């Protein structure tokens, strides 16, 4: 694409069906930026790779982990510049990749969409929100158990697929009649649910970044999360961060947000924290990486 008097061609690859294959770009590209660990077949340009997390390395095993880690490390070692979405991911990269130095690694945080914001005339409901996948390290079972003793408080899950048979059995035993699954929601619909909820319960034990934390804060919904991986980096002092995501501490945090003054305090903190993250800033810092590789200013 023309930028001033200089023409910059950027080939972007993303996760797809053939995500394990190298990419044939053809001639004329200045930068190849992969967001899912792919490399160009013919090395004729600078290569940038974005590393999101180390979930596979920490929580998977067997062939699945071996293949993923092989591809990721191949991309890392074949890149001129590596972007990590958090300091936590950067530390994981140094731990798992075998790199001895991180001179070519830069941290560029994700942003948060301006589609999330406080709504006027929306009544707060007796519900807590759980967003995203629910298996394993996402700590969903403890979130359900935390609601067991909070009569009248409902659980709304968004994303992560429909409840399976084991989840339905657990929900019926622990919070019968107090749970629902919203399926896929648009940004507008999810923003409404953030505005309706007492809090977002996001008890994941590991995240490369954790965008729902910022979405909730931007929408004026307090957050309960776990003080691990990237979460404290993203949440700052604007969320209740649990020591290890156990049931009792999660239940106490939800009860804390059932008090109006407590909730209002963290709503204000959350809005300030969310303002520190934007996609415009992500764009500007990514552009700076391109300009460093090219040795030339390409955007005014």
Q: Name the band, by pLDDT with cuts 50, 70 and 90, for residue 11.
A: low
Least confidently predicted of 80-94, 96-110, 210-224, 243-257: 96-110
DSSP per position, 88-117? HHHHHHHHHH--S--TTEEE------TT--
Given a cut of 80, whether residue 9 has pLDDT beyond it is no
> Of 199, 53, 202, nearest to 140 (Cα)?
202
Same domain, 20 and 76: yes
Same domain, 146 and 200: yes
> Of 200, 39, 205, nearest to 128 (Cα)?
200
- For residue 225, what are the β-bridge partners? 202, 241
CATH of the domain at 45: 3.40.50.2000
Q: Report pLDDT digits (tens) over 174-195.
A: 999 999 999 889 999 999 999 9
CA 112/CA 126 separation, integer angstroms: 26
Same domain, 136 and 266: yes
pLDDT of residue 100: 78
Q: Report pLDDT digits (tens) over 28-50.
A: 789 999 988 989 887 888 999 99
Same domain, 71 and 88: yes
**Please, how many CA atoms are within 13 Å of residue 167, restricted to the half-sphere of its CB?**
20
Domain membership flag for residue 116: no
Q: Report pLDDT digits (tens) over 87-133.
A: 999 999 999 998 877 889 999 999 999 999 999 999 999 999 999 99
Same domain, 107 and 143: no
Backbone angles phi, psi at 48, to 5 degrees: -120, 135
Same domain, 286 and 260: no
pLDDT of residue 246: 97
Q: Report pLDDT digits (tens) over 135-157.
A: 999 999 999 999 998 999 999 99
Given a cut of 60, whether residue 196 has pLDDT beyond it is yes
Radius of gyration of the chain (CA): 21
Residue spans of beta strands (DSSP E) within the chain? 2-3, 6-7, 10-13, 31-34, 46-51, 81-84, 105-107, 127-131, 154-158, 179-181, 199-202, 223-226, 240-242
Same domain, 154 and 46: no
Least confidently predicted of 2-11, 105-114, 126-135, 165-174: 2-11
- Counting the structural domains of the chain, the total is 2
Prediction pTM value:
0.89
Domain membership flag for residue 259: yes
Same domain, 164 and 69: no
pLDDT of residue 6: 42
Same domain, 98 and 62: yes
The average confidence (pLDDT) of the chain is 91
Q: Name the band, by pLDDT with cuts 50, 70 and 90, for residue 167.
A: very high
Q: Name the band, by pLDDT with cuts 50, 70 and 90, for residue 171.
A: very high
Domain membership flag for residue 119: no
What residue numbers bound the domain in which 164 lies? 127-274
Query: What number of residues does the chain have?
Result: 300
CA 88/CA 258 separation, integer angstroms: 31
Helix runs in 177-278, H state only: 187-196, 211-219, 231-235, 247-257, 260-274
Same domain, 30 and 131: no
Helix (H, G, I), strand (E, B) or coil at 212: helix
Buried b (16+ CB within 10 A) or exposed e, 74-92: ebbebbbbbbbbbebbbeb
What percentage of the chain exceeds 90 in pLDDT?
81
Domain membership flag for residue 57: yes
Q: Compute how many other C-beta atoms are within 10 angstroms of the C-beta atom of residue 289.
A: 19
Cβ atoms of 262 and 198 closer than 8 Å: no
Helix (H, G, I), strand (E, B) or coil at 181: strand
Cβ atoms of 216 and 240 closer than 8 Å: no
pLDDT of residue 1: 37
pLDDT of residue 298: 85
Domain membership flag for residue 120: no
Same domain, 97 and 45: yes
Enumerate residues 6+ apart whose C-beta is below 8 A from 229.
Answer: 88, 205, 206, 207, 208
Same domain, 283 and 226: no
* Mean pLDDT calculated for residue range 56-66: 92
pLDDT of residue 57: 94
Least confidently predicted of 14-18, 110-114, 234-238: 14-18
Helix (H, G, I), strand (E, B) or coil at 179: strand
pLDDT of residue 18: 64
């Amino acid at each position: 694409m023309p930028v001033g008097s200089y023409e910059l061609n950027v080939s972007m690859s993303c996760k797809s069906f053939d995500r394990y294959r190298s990419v044939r770009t053809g001639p004329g590209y200045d930068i190849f930026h992969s967001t899912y660990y792919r490399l160009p077949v013919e090395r004729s340009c600078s290569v940038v790779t974005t590393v999101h997390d180390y979930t596979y390395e920490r929580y998977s095993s067997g062939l699945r982990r071996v293949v993923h880690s092989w591809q990721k490390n191949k991309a890392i070692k074949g890149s001129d510049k590596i972007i990590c979405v958090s300091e936590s991911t950067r530390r994981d990269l140094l731990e798992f990749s075998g790199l001895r130095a991180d001179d070519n690694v830069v941290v560029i945080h994700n942003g948060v969409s301006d589609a999330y914001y406080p709504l006027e005339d929306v009544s707060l409901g007796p519900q807590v929100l759980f967003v995203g996948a629910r298996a394993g390290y996402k700590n969903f079972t403890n979130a359900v158990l935390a609601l067991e003793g909070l009569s009248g408080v409902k659980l709304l899950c968004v994303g992560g697929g429909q409840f399976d048979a084991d989840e339905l059995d657990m929900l019926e035993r622990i919070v019968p009649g107090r749970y629902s699954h919203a399926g896929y929601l648009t940004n507008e619909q999810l923003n409404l649910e953030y505005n309706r909820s007492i809090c977002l319960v996001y008890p994941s034990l590991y995240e490369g970044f954790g965008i729902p934390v910022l979405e909730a804060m931007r929408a004026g919904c307090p957050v309960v999360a776990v003080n691990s991986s990237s979460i404290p980096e993203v949440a700052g002092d604007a969320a209740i961060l649990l020591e290890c995501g156990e049931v009792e501490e999660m239940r106490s945090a939800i009860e804390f947000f059932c008090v109006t003054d407590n909730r209002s305090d963290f709503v204000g903190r959350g809005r300030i924290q969310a303002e520190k993250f934007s996609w415009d800033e992500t764009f500007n810092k990514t552009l700076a990486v391109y300009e460093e590789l090219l040795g030339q200013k390409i955007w005014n």
